[in-house]
C-alpha cells in the first residue's frame, strides 16, 4: 500500500512539473523580426507615448482634408502592403497618414497593460489630429479601426469630414442576437472557408491561455512584450485565413502585432458605455464597405447602416474581411468615388 501511495505521489509531482513547464517555459515562434522602415516617422504624445507613422504626401492639387487610416486588431499594425494599397489616394491629392496604434508595430509598448483602453486610443487619435493641424480629417477604419473611428466621431463630429468603414466589427456593447440576422439574398453574401475560431484553436496552447488569464484577471505579463508579440504574429497569421474568400490569398506572416494591446483593448471594449444614442444624432457621410465573404455577421454590419442616417453600403464581390487583398483596384476605386461625391 505504501509503495502504491509513493508511486502516485511521484506521478502527481511529475504531472505538476510538466504542467508548470508548459506554462512557464517560453515558446519559440518562427516569425519574421520587425525591421526598420525608412518612411517611418514618430509622434511623441503628451503622455510620453511614442507613435510610429508613415505619411504619403499628396501629389498634384492638394485636397483640403487629409486621410487618417486606422488599422484593425486591436493590436494590428501598418504593413508594407497597407502603404502600397493607399498610395493611389495620395496620388489623387490626399495626404494619407497611417500609424501603428499604441502597443503595436513600431510604436511603444505600455508598461502597465491595463492602460490599453478604448479611451487611450481615442485620446491618441485626438492628439494626432492636433499634431497634423487639420481643420477636419477623413477617417478610414478597417475592422476594429472602424469601431475606433465611429467612437471617436461620436464625440468629435466637428473634426470629421467623412467616414469610410471597411468590414467594421460590431457596435459595442454588441447585441448577440444580431449574429443570427440573415442578409438579403440580393447581396449574395457567403461565409469564408475558415473562421476566427479555427485559427485560435490551432494557435493557442496551455501557456498562451495562461498568459491571457493572468493579463485579463491580474493585469500582469506572464511573457515579455517581445515573446507575446511573436505569438500574436503567429496567431494572427492563422486567424487571417478567415479574412479572405480564397485561403490561397492569405497574407504572408509579418511582424508587428501587439499581443497585450490586442488583449486588453478588446477587454475594455466589452465594458464601454453604449454609444448608440450618440450615433443617431450624427449627419456625417459614411461609406460602409463589406467583402462578399466578410467574416463579420451581416447583422453587425447592418447596424451601422441603421444608426448612421447618412450612410451607404457597398458590397465588394470576391473579397473577404481584407477587401484590399483580393480586390485592391475595386477597393480604391470605391473609396475614391465616395470621396469625390
Q: Sort 202 into a burial class: Cβ within 10 Å, 0-12 / 13-18 / 19+.
A: middle
Reported as a pLDDT band with limits 50, 70 and 90, residue 297 is very high
Show Cβ contacts of residue 275 under 8 Å, excluding neighbours closer than 6 positions: 150, 151, 154, 171
The residue ranking higher by pLDDT, 13 or 263, is 263
pLDDT of 188-229, one tens digit each? 999 998 888 888 899 888 889 999 999 999 999 999 999 999
pLDDT of 30-80, one tens digit each? 788 888 899 999 999 999 999 999 999 999 999 999 999 999 999 999 999
Residues in the chain: 341
pLDDT given for residue 99 in this prediction: 98
pLDDT of 104-161, one tens digit each? 999 999 999 999 999 999 999 999 999 999 999 999 999 999 999 999 999 999 999 9
Strands 67-70 and 96-99 turn out to be: parallel
Number of other CB atoms surrounding residue 105 within 10 Å: 28
Which backbone phi and psi does 99 adopt, to 5 degrees?
A: -130, 150
Q: Which CA distances in Å does 54 have to 37, 74, 188, 226?
A: 9, 19, 36, 23
Show Cβ contacts of residue 149 under 8 Å, excluding neighbours closer than 6 positions: 70, 139, 140, 141, 163, 165
pLDDT of 147-194, one tens digit each? 999 999 999 999 999 999 999 999 999 999 999 999 999 999 999 988
- All domains in the chain, ordered by first residue: 41-174+184-339 (3.40.50.1820)
**Residue 10 pLDDT greater than 70, yes or no:** no
pLDDT given for residue 329 in this prediction: 97
| pTM for this model (two decimals) | 0.93
**Residue 6 pLDDT greater than 80, yes or no:** no
pLDDT given for residue 280 in this prediction: 80
Amino acid at each position: 500500500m505504501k509503495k502504491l501511495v509513493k508511486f502516485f505521489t511521484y506521478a502527481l509531482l511529475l504531472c505538476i512539473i510538466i504542467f508548470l513547464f508548459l506554462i512557464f517555459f517560453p515558446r519559440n515562434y518562427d516569425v519574421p523580426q520587425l525591421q526598420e522602415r525608412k518612411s517611418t516617422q514618430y509622434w511623441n504624445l503628451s503622455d510620453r507615448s511614442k507613435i510610429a507613422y508613415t505619411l504619403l504626401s499628396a501629389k498634384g492639387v492638394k485636397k483640403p482634408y487629409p486621410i487618417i487610416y486606422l488599422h484593425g486588431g486591436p493590436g494590428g499594425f501598418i504593413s508594407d502592403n497597407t502603404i502600397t494599397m493607399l498610395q493611389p489616394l495620395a496620388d489623387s491629392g490626399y495626404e494619407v497618414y497611417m500609424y501603428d496604434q499604441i502597443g503595436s508595430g513600431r510604436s511603444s509598448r505600455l508598461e502597465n497593460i491595463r492602460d490599453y483602453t478604448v479611451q487611450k486610443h481615442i485620446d491618441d487619435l485626438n492628439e494626432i489630429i492636433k499634431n497634423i493641424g487639420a481643420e477636419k480629417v477623413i477617417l478610414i477604419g478597417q475592422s476594429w479601426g472602424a469601431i475606433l473611428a465611429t467612437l471617436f466621431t461620436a464625440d468629435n463630429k466637428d473634426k470629421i469630414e467623412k467616414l469610410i468603414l471597411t468590414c467594421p466589427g460590431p457596435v459595442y456593447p454588441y447585441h448577440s442576437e444580431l449574429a443570427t440576422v440573415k442578409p438579403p439574398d440580393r447581396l449574395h453574401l457567403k461565409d469564408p472557408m475558415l473562421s476566427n475560431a479555427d485559427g485560435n484553436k490551432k494557435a493557442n496552447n496551455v501557456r498562451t491561455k495562461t498568459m491571457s488569464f493572468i493579463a485579463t484577471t491580474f493585469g500582469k505579463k506572464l511573457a515579455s512584450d517581445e515573446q507575446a508579440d511573436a505569438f500574436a504574429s503567429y496567431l494572427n497569421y492563422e486567424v487571417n485565413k478567415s479574412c479572405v474568400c480564397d485561403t490561397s490569398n492569405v497574407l504572408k506572416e509579418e511582424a508587428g502585432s501587439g499581443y497585450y494591446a490586442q488583449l486588453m483593448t478588446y477587454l475594455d471594449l466589452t465594458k464601454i458605455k453604449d454609444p448608440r444614442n450618440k450615433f443617431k444624432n450624427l449627419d456625417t457621410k459614411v461609406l460602409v464597405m463589406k467583402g462578399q465573404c466578410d467574416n463579420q455577421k451581416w447583422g453587425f454590419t447592418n447596424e451601422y447602416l441603421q444608426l448612421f442616417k447618412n450612410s451607404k453600403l457597398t458590397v465588394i464581390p470576391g473579397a473577404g474581411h481584407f477587401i484590399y487583398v483580393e480586390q485592391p483596384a475595386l477597393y480604391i476605386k470605391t473609396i475614391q468615388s465616395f470621396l469625390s461625391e
